[in-house]
Amino acid sequence: MPEGDTVWQAARRLDAALAGRRLVRCELRVPKLATADLTGRAVLGVVPRGKHLLARVEGGLTLHSHLRMDGQWRVFAAGERWHGGPGHQIRAVLGTAEGTAVGYRLQVLDLLRTAEEARVVGHLGPDLLGPDWDREEALRRLRAEPARPLGTALLDQRNLAGIGNVFMAELCFLARATPWLTVGELDRAGGLAGLVAEAERLLAENRERPARATTPPRLRARGPRLHVYGRAPRPCPVCGTPVRVAGETHETQGRERPTYWCPGCQRGPAPGPAAPRPGRPPRRPGPR
C-alpha cells in the first residue's frame, strides 16, 4: 500500500501537471460518477491528506481518491502513449492542453463539495507531512489506548496519518520494540515520544527520495535500504539475526498484511516459538 511519502510525491506531480490549468478532458470511469464532467473547469490544486489525494477544482468541487493497495496516478505529456496498466484498469482521466493525468486501479474515487472534504478526511489524525502536523496531539491520541499493540496503533490513521506497513515495521525496529508490544509499555520505557519523532523524520526525508530508505548511510552503503521490511529470512543488518515475518490481520486494515521484525534487536511479545524473552523492556532508541 502506498504510504504518506508516496502519496505526497503523487500529489506534487499532479499539482505540477494540473494546477492553474483548465481541463479539456474528463472521464471518471466509475458507475456513480458516470455522468459527472469537469471539462472546462480549472484545477485549483492537488493536496495530500495522509494517504488521500484531494484535487480541488473550480466551482467548489474536490475529486477525492485513495490509492489503497496498488492504485496509481500517472502523468503523461500531450501525445505521449499511456503506460500504467491495461485500459480496463483506468478509473480517471484528467486532461489539459499540456498533458493528461491518468488514475489506474483507484478503488476510491469520489466527487464532493470542497467545503465537505471533512466527510472523507476529517477522521484522520495529524498528517506527518501536512501543515496540521502536531507531535503532541499524535502522542495524546496514541496514549489514549495504552493497551493497544504498537503496530496496530501506528497503522490507525486516526492517531497519525501517513504510516503504512513499511514505516510501521521500520519504526518499531528503530524503537527496539516488536509490533505486539503495547503502546503503554513502550511509553513507560520512555520510547514513545522518540518513536513519533522518528516517524516525523523518516517521512520528511523520504518524501524527496525516489527510493524509500530508512537505514543510515553506513548501512545503506552495504546495500540494505530497509532494516526489516521485506527482508525475511535474511540477516538483520544490525545484529545478523534472521528477520522474521508473520501474517497479521490488523483491525485497522481489515486484511492480512506481513509484519516483519528482528528477534535479536526488538524486545516484546511476538508470535511463534522464537519470540523474544518476556519481561525485558525495550531499549530507548539512540540518536541516529
200 a catalytic residue: no
The gap between the terminal CA atoms of the chain, to the nearest Å, is: 27
- Chain-centroid distance of CA 92 in Å reads 21
80 a catalytic residue: no
Residue 276: left (phi > 0), alpha (psi -120 to 50), or beta?
beta
Give the torsion sign (CA, 170, 172, 178, 182). negative
- Write down the catalytic residue from 3, 27, 170, 200: 3
Q: Which of 154, 148, 146, 147 is nearest to 173 (CA)?
A: 154
d(C-alpha 152, C-alpha 146), whole Å = 12
- Write down the catalytic residue from 91, 257, 267, 282: 257
Which residues, at least 6 apart from 167, have a Cβ–Cβ distance to it below 8 Å? 3, 4, 154, 199, 202, 203, 214
**177: DSSP letter:** B
**Alpha carbon distances (Å) from 278 to 9, 103, 174, 265, 282:** 41, 47, 19, 14, 11
Give the 3-state secondary structure of residue 90.
strand
**Alpha carbon distances (Å) from 36 to 28, 61, 164, 246, 254:** 7, 11, 32, 44, 31
Q: In this structure, what C-alpha cell is assigned to residue 114?
A: 470542497
- Chain-centroid distance of CA 138 in Å reads 16
- Write down the catalytic residue from 27, 48, 49, 51: 51
212 a catalytic residue: no
Q: In this structure, what C-alpha cell is assigned to residue 71?
A: 492504485
Give the residue numbers marked as catalytic. Answer: 2-3, 51, 257
